[in-house]
Each structure stands twice: as C-alpha cells, then as structure tokens.
Amino acid sequence: MPNRALFRAVLVILLALAAPAVRVHAEDWRVLDEHWYAIELAGSRIGHAHECTEQDGDRIRLTTTSSMVMKRLDAEVAIGITQLSIEGDDGAPIMLTSITDMSKQIKSSTLHFNGDTVNLVTRDGGRERSVDRPAPAGDWLMPYASRLFQRERLKAGATSIEYQTLSLENGLDPIVIRMKRIGTEEAMVDDREIPVTRWSIESTDMPGIPMSATYSADGVMVEQTMTMPIGAMVSRLTTKADAVGGEIVAPELMLTNFVALDQPLSGLDRRRSITFDVRTKDGSKVELPTAGAQRITMNPDGTSARVTVSLDDPVPATDAERADAAYLSASSMIDADDPLIEALARKATRRTSEDPMLRAEAMRALVAKHISRKGYETAFASASETAKLRTGDCSEHAMLLAAMLRADDIPSRVADGLVYVEGLGPSPAAFGWHMWTQALIDGKWIDLDATLPVPYHVGHLLTGTSALRDDGAGDMQMHLLKLLGNLEIRVAERAGD
C-alpha cells in the first residue's frame, strides 16, 4: 500500500493551497487478487484505494488507484493517484508508472528499465520529457517482489523484516523499509474478527515519522497508520461497497494548520530583520534550514531554535549548490524551455540592464501581474500551465518565477515554509503555509515572493527548498510531516530600517 504518495498529496494541498486510468495494451491480464481500503485522515473518511495484482504469462502487474477529497478554505480539491508496476515473475524490473490527477491537472512519470540504464518519461500539460539515467544501484525489489518477500517473512513467523524497494515518489534512490513485530491482536474485517500481527515500520524516505501496520495470517495488510501532528492517516481493509460508498467528509487543511502568533507584526515592508523563537509542541528537535535570508541557531534547550531573518545578509550558497546544474535545467514542473516562459522572461527584462538582481525583480513583478486570477482551486500546476491559464496561488507564482529565472540563465529553486497573514484564520495574527522562489545571484540565494507587492519581507519562515527535478531527487515535502500542526512561534526581536 504505497501511502507515501497519499502523504505527499496532503502536503501538496497544503502548499498549493477520481483516479485516472493507466493506458495499457489490451492484453490477457488475469486477476490474482485485489483488495479495497477506506482512507481516513484525523478520523474523517477522505477517500478509498484499490489494489489489484494481475498476471500475463511471465509478467506481473500491480496497480493501486487512490481517490481523495480535501478542502483549502471553501475550495474542494479532488485527488486521484494511480501507481502501476510491471515486473517479471522472477522480480525483474520492467516498468514503473505514477499518475497524479489533482482537480483534472494530470501529471505522470514512467520509468522503463533497460538493463544498466533506465528511461524516465514525464508528461504534464500535454508536454513530454524523456531522459536516460543509470539504473538504480543496490539490491532492491520491485513493488510486487517486495510484497512477496514481506508475505513470506510474515508467514515464516519473522519478528523483523528489512528490504529495499523503489518508489517514483522518491526518484531513483531505493528506500529502505524496516519492520519490527510488536504483538498480536484481533481486527474486524467485513463484520468478522480475524487474528492479526501488529508491526512498527520505519522508512528511510520518511525519517522520524511513526508508522504501524497490521497483517492477516496470509500476509494481507489489514490496516496501516501514519501518525502526524495534523492527525493520523489510516488505510483500512474493507469491502468494495464500503470503500466506494462510504460518506466522504473533506477536511479543511489550510486554516486548520495555521500557526498562531503571539503578537501582530506591523510594517513588514519596512523592516530589515526580525528574530523568532520556534519550538515544536511535542518537544522534538526543530529542524529548519539556514538559507537565503534565514539563519538558525539552536537554543540551549537543544530542541527549540532562534530564527533570524535578515534582508541585508543573505546566506552564501554552498559549493555543491553553485555547481548543481538542476537549478538551471528545465523539468516538467519548472519547464523553463517552454516558448511562453521564454517570451515572458524576455518581456519582463526588455528594458532592464544586465544586472541579475534587477532582472530577477523585474520577472518577479511581472509574475505578480501575469497571474490575474488568484485562487485555491488550482493545485500545483506547472509553470507553463500557469503562464497560459494565468491563474493560481503561491505555488503557481513560485514555479512560474523559478522557470522564468532559469530561462534568463539565473539559477533558481522553490522554497516552502510559512508567511505572516492577518484576518484569514481564527487568530488575528498567524503564519500560513506558503511557497516562494529563491534566485542564486552573486553566490547567494535571494528570496523572491511573487505574491507580494514588494520583493520579499521578513515575515517568512523557511522550512525547505527544492529544484523540483523530474527524478524526484531533492524532494522538499516530506520534512513537513513533522512540522504541520506542531510548531509554536514567538517574536523575539525586530528591527526597522
């Protein structure tokens, strides 16, 4: 049950604030088994999932389709996720596909295995990209092979299980799954009680996130739970009728995850620096980056942090960041080579000097005007889609600006975090989840927020960055799982002009 895709969908809804069919040839696929699951978040039914395993000769196909509904303010966002793998009956890799449909914005990634190399094809908004990469190294298993290995170990009475597998959500780097048996219990499945074993689960792509699952005697997953500060996400085995017919209660994920501030912040467009004290509600260590305008110093308690945001002292980029070609490369989300993106970059800078700072600000200002319909219905559209439709929220602003910067040969990346807001939630002053852009200029990352009338202000708290590569490397979202609903922020110091 690839719940990591569902978890990422939740994060996209927060930041961006009917599953699609997979095209396959009409071949003789015979169903081996299938299971239906109800999906809950914080106790509310938000959707369902269907797993189906099929065989055609010496090939095995494992398909999981998931459908969920969530809200951002009053805007409902329907999410469909399809994950498909084809492998030999000996576990030899053939193909992996992941398709995401967010309110009819369909994006797909397909990985074809060709011996020592793989071909990654991404499709988004009618555009297709293809790139060859070295095949993933190490002793890892395809999804169905890992399922078989896990079931064999469960049936053998193992008390611990460890294996490596591949998930497109994590790019081409295999992830390590570690399971430990906790005990036995009874579970209700289709109005009958069955014995199950309970396991704790650790996954290297989600460090520090508590997960557990129960399995039947024949190795079928009965329930899987991931505990987050915003609530537990649970996938529970059920019947098809219950899975697709259960009442959906779409949770509101935007306002409910605002972080209340102890005092209002005035004159943000005039302030040059500010300092916050940040801690977690559960007492875990605060892990925030030092980058752009932000510097982090751990407090003596070892868990909370002092965060200083200074517009006059941006942090130098590392040698690795300055050398990373991904910050100039086009990808499916930041498609800097799209003709419309290139035209917008030229339009923004046609009366600007060669000074990269002035050019970056000119592009930021154009993005703010070009996206004329601000709203929450759009969920993580690509830069070219946004350029054409001229609609979106913070994520669309961030990616369009990042693409235009790259089109003008200025390295860029997107940033996730929090921004100061007033009058939008239950608290008069709060921080809401947000995305913006960073440009690499004169060896330093410069923060740029295209949703604002000014280039940037100190009312931002950075939690992560990403080049948004197509191969998934540098994914910026999973670190948020430990932060959502788990932060407390207090103003420590502020400085004006």
∠ CA 455-258-489, nearest 5°, is: 80
Look at residue 96 and tell me whether its pLDDT is greater than 70: yes
If you average pLDDT over residues 153-165, what whole number do you get? 96
Cβ-contact 129, 122 below 8 angstroms: yes
Cβ-contact 179, 165 below 8 angstroms: no
Look at residue 184 and tell me whether its pLDDT is greater than 50: yes
Which pLDDT does position 383 carry in this prediction? 93
Which pLDDT does position 19 carry in this prediction? 33
Quickly state the pLDDT bin for 17 (edges 50, 70, 90): very low
Mean pLDDT, the chain, as a whole number?
Answer: 88
If you average pLDDT over residues 277-287, what whole number do you get? 90
Quickly state the pLDDT bin for 76 (edges 50, 70, 90): confident
The residue with tokens 């990422």 is 8
Instruction: Write down the architecture of domain 258-495 according to CATH.
Output: Roll (3.10)
Look at residue 103 and tell me whether its pLDDT is greater than 80: no
Which pLDDT does position 211 carry in this prediction? 94
What pTM was computed for the model? 0.82
How would you classify the pairing of strands 391-392 and 373-374? parallel
Q: What whole-number distance in Å separates Cα of residue 337 and Cα of residue 406?
A: 9
The three-state secondary structure class of 454 is coil
The three-state secondary structure class of 474 is coil
Q: What is the DSSP string of 273-340?
A: EEEEEEEETT-PPP----BTTEEEEE-TTSS-EEEEEETT-PPBPPHHHHH-GGGTS--SSS-TTSHH
Look at residue 213 and tell me whether its pLDDT is greater than 60: yes
Q: What are phi and psi of 163, to 5 degrees?
A: -160, 165
Q: What is the pLDDT of residues 398-411, one digit of tens each?
A: 999 999 999 999 99
The residue with tokens 């020592």 is 116
Domain map (residue ranges) of the chain: 3-245, 258-495
Which pLDDT does position 208 carry in this prediction? 78
Q: What is the pLDDT of residues 428-458, one digit of tens each?
A: 899 999 999 999 999 999 999 999 999 999 9
Of residues 318 and 392, more confidently modeled: 318
Which pLDDT does position 417 carry in this prediction? 95
